[in-house]
Structure 1
Amino acid sequence: MSDFVPVARPTTVFLSGSAGSGKTTVLRLSHDLKLSTWGRTAAIDTDQLFLMVDPHWDLPYDDARTALALRQAAQLTQSFFSADYENVLIAGNAIHDAIDLNPVIPDLLQLGRVFHLTLDPSEEAILQRTAADADRSPAHLISDLQHQRVKRCPWSAPIDNSTLTPLETLQKIAHLVQAGEGEIHGLV
């Protein structure tokens, strides 16, 4: 039996973290696992939104493209809530910065509660999780983790998911949200 407790208002959770931290793996958990853990939960991977305009990751970082992806994520969130989803997870590497998030926060707050959580596993956990992926440079992964840690804002609730399974990570996300950790009440 699950310890799932429904929330009174729809909930959007921004889930950030470095490459290899487990964001995509959590998003890809089955509908049934999400339902039993946290209720009707939709998942938006911002990487998929970026791939719509840059399928080979050829373009340099662009603030305008990031803003477009986040606006699309906010519109998708509204659609999911209109279809009676209780929670929407929006995950990506580029959602840890107030400059990127502030344009969509007011719209999301009109829809329900908004949270920001950051997956922060150990270097060892990231290297172990990505060891089979030859396309991922260990040096780049560690550099990305260190960069994300430097940029993590105090309004984001960290989750050390070094020893957590993807399901346990989702359970931790649900627990932190129910406890009000990482809640955003206005511009950050």
Structure 2
Amino acid sequence: MPRTVFLSGPAGSGKTTILRLSHDLKLTTWGRTAAIDTDQLFLMVDPHWDLPYDDARTALVLRQSARLTESFIGAGYDNVLIAGNAIHDAIDLNPVIPDLLKLGQVFHISLDPSEEAVLHRTADDPDRSPAHLINDLHLLRAKRSPWSAPVDNSTLSPLETLQQIAHLIRTGKGEIHGPPPDPA
């Protein structure tokens, strides 16, 4: 059965790096796997990240992610990873969950590395403020929903992280069977 996997986590947690693993590594680890980076979809509308957060734009990006997922699954992909910062709460995800469940199983995984790992991974990026990165890490950690399966990938390589995600999903961790409850 095809699987859609939402992959959330703070900046510097490794989401994009996992999405960029080669097709062959994804294939041997987990089967035919497509990757959707929601940042790329946001950049189509706001190429310089100038605009303030907007619920309607987030909803548009998630609807487009669901449509791309349908296309990939229709083309025979076993898994579709959808990664981004804006996919961690039920309010944003619930509008697309019913459509994705019609395609197959749906899971939610949260990358949760240590502060040290985030700072090490982003050390060469002068546009990333260490204080902002740590604040983001703590904010997302505090907001993590009980229906999301956490992965501490502090000491894992991107491939090992993908292997851990595949293992969690094979054991049913983080599976979403319907729109998750909003904790607010």
> Please, what TM-score do these two structures have when normalized by structure 1?
0.95
Is 1:73 the counterpart of 2:65? The answer is yes
How far is 1:143 from its partner? 0.4
Alignment of 1:129-144 (within 5 A): 129-144=121-136
What corresponds to 1:171 in structure 2?
A: 163
Among candidates 89, 114, 119, match of residue 122 of structure 1 = 114
* Matched letter for residue 132 of structure 2: H
Classify the secondary structure of the residue corresponding to 2:24.
helix
| Equivalent position SS for 1:18 | coil
Instruction: Tell whether 2:59 aligns with 1:64.
Output: no
Structure 1 equivalent of residue 31 of structure 2: 39
What SS does the aligned partner of 1:52 have?
A: helix
Query: Which residue of the partner structure matches residue 109 of structure 1?
Result: 101
SS of match in other structure, 1:158:
strand
Query: What one-letter code is carried by the residue in structure 2 that aligns with 1:160?
Result: D
Deviations 1:117-138 (A, max 9, x none): 0000000000011111111110
SS of residue paired to 1:168: helix
Query: Which residue of structure 1 lines up, in the alignment, with residue 176 of structure 2?
Result: 184
Superposed displacement of residue 115, structure 1? 0.1
Partner residue of 2:8?
16
Corresponding residue of 1:3: none
How far apart are 1:187 and its partner, in Å?
A: 0.8
Identity %: 80
CA distance in 2, matches of 1:117, 1:109: 16
Give per-residue Cα distances to partners, 1:147-179, cap 9 Å, x unaligned: 101110000000000000000000001000000
RMSD: 0.3
Q: Distance in 2 between matches of 1:121 and 1:97?
A: 19
Secondary structure (helix, strand or coil) at the match of 2:45 reads coil
Q: Give the match for residue 18 of structure 2.
A: 26
Q: Distance in 2 between matches of 1:132 and 1:47?
A: 20
Question: So what's the TM-score if we normalise by structure 2?
Answer: 0.97
